[in-house]
Structure 1
């Protein structure tokens, strides 16, 4: 075969990235989830362009007004526009979820890969730290620590959430690293004089990218729920700022009498978490088609037994 004959074949062979994208686009639910997430982010940050109200500016002529007119989602008991507050709350909650997902997954990748690659006392120290954090009740620790940072930036809250979200993933990354460090291409890289951190960054972490991407996606939804729960109990975002958690907490007592105060922020929270989980499922199937095939086979087997 000549070089001219081999060129079209190489051009027709799609790369891994293109294959993953093609598999992801075939999942209608995952694509729908991605579109919903993008739309929610776009709405949350662009609402001042089309909303006549600010989240902190009350309308003194409309107290507890139902949805309609210029107040699309109604108003609160002091005349604040619920639509503007929900959009502002989504800004905070979605940003917190995204940052926690990125920080948590990055920390898990670094700690797990370092423990598995270096072994010895590095492995023992890092895994002791992981075990210690796993036995601590993270919700209570964050709840107790949050008042100490009252008035500080909400980024401190992000660090607290991320600090208790990475341990299980780090253990998984360590186990995969113990296997990958014995592969021929890793040994060849070490033989060629590449440093340990370069080997980890270039040859080990890229081979577990599917795990890390899926973990980051799912951690975003979990972080939003954690922020909502902590804010519900008064440990998260502080007034006068708002998040979905604070809006749900303030609207709970009026869920039956003035339902728009509760159901609009709660509904957007449910939609966002569901959309993120759909994206995570789609990425899992796109990056690991064998796992998706096994899952479908199990479902088919259960259907036959039923």
Structure 2
């Protein structure tokens, strides 16, 4: 090989060596772990299919959630009514799609919103410290000891007949406290780090320090909680609606469908089995994806289970 060819090869080898020596970013490491985690792909793909089904499942379908077929009341699943009909001729497939859509909206809103609340309030308490820390922690502990279900029961006469958005707001308000305490503890350790001290000495605002320096360092916890919170919110909303304290008729959710179909679970099982199966699959898919994400972010949580 001539000297000219060697001179051309050496920069290429040097660039390759630099790339090989360059440490992988945290996001790349996490994605690499997720790529080799089967349960993440099972949960993520299943959840994606469920979301797409809830959006486009009624495209081209003959019946809707409010229409009645008086000639096919209490009918088992057929080619016309895929999930059967109830006692008044309402199509269960259409109602299940609409109910799933409502439950998914609640879950995908409550999970991230509660994580953001936990991140902001917990970071504020941990960063400020002193009196403000004690006040915020006292407020968090107060919400933790308050029986959320009993409060909802007491407020039920006021929200009865109202929009399902009220239920969504209620779930978000009572879902962030535990993570907030974790974020507070993490922030207390970050407060004395050099980059935070430097920003404080430079006169950077507290809100800016929290947004630029604190939140990014606890973002992994927020992402995990937001992901797992989706399934938890769906399950909580379903439970409340099942007992009549959540989504109110004429709105439909998986909880209202389960509540109306429980009495006929043995005589007309399709009224209960289909909504229950959709609920179980949705919550399980969300849990699988969130659990895999937690293991990828925190190797000590049991990442070697696959």
Task: Provide TM-score, normalisation by structure 2.
Answer: 0.91
Match of residue 228 from structure 1? 238
- In the TM superposition, what is the alpha-carbon distance from 1:6 to its structure 2 partner? 5.5
Separation of aligned partners in 1, 2:177 and 2:277: 31
Q: Partners in 1 of 2:278 and 2:222 — Cα distance?
A: 26
RMSD: 1.9
Alpha carbons 1:146, 1:157 under 8 Å: kept: no
* CA distance in structure 1 between the aligned counterparts of 2:74 and 2:14, rounded to whole angstroms: 71
Deviations 1:214-243 (A, max 9, x none): 111111111111111111111111111110
* Structure 1 residues not aligned, in runs of 5+: 300-306
Instruction: Specify whether residues 207 and 104 from structure 1 end up closer, same or farther in structure 2 by C-alpha distance, changes over 3 A only.
Output: same
Which residue is 2:7 aligned to? none
Equivalent position to 2:75, from 58, 65, 72: 65
Relative to structure 1, the CA distance from residue 292 to residue 192 in structure 2 (aligned partners, 3 Å threshold; closer, same or farther) is farther
Tell me how far 1:60 sits from its aligned partner: 1.3
- How many Å separate the matches in 1 of 2:301 and 2:246? 37
Q: Which runs of 4+ in 1 moved over 3 A?
A: 2-14
Name which of 184, 194, 213 aligns with 1:174: 184
Residue-pair matches, total = 295
Matched, 1:135 2:145: yes
* SS of corresponding position for 2:204: coil
Equivalent residue number for residue 3 of structure 2: none
Larger radius of gyration, structure 1 or 2? 2
Residue 201 (str. 1) matches residue 211 (str. 2):
yes
Question: How far, CA to CA, are the matches of 1:3 and 1:123 in structure 2?
Answer: 55
Q: How much does 1:47 deviate?
A: 1.9
CA–CA separation in structure 2 for the residues paired with 1:146 and 1:121: 36
Counterpart-to-counterpart distance in 2, 1:5 and 1:146? 70
Q: Secondary structure at the match of 2:263?
A: helix
For structure 2, which runs of at least 5 residues remain unmatched after alignment? 1-9
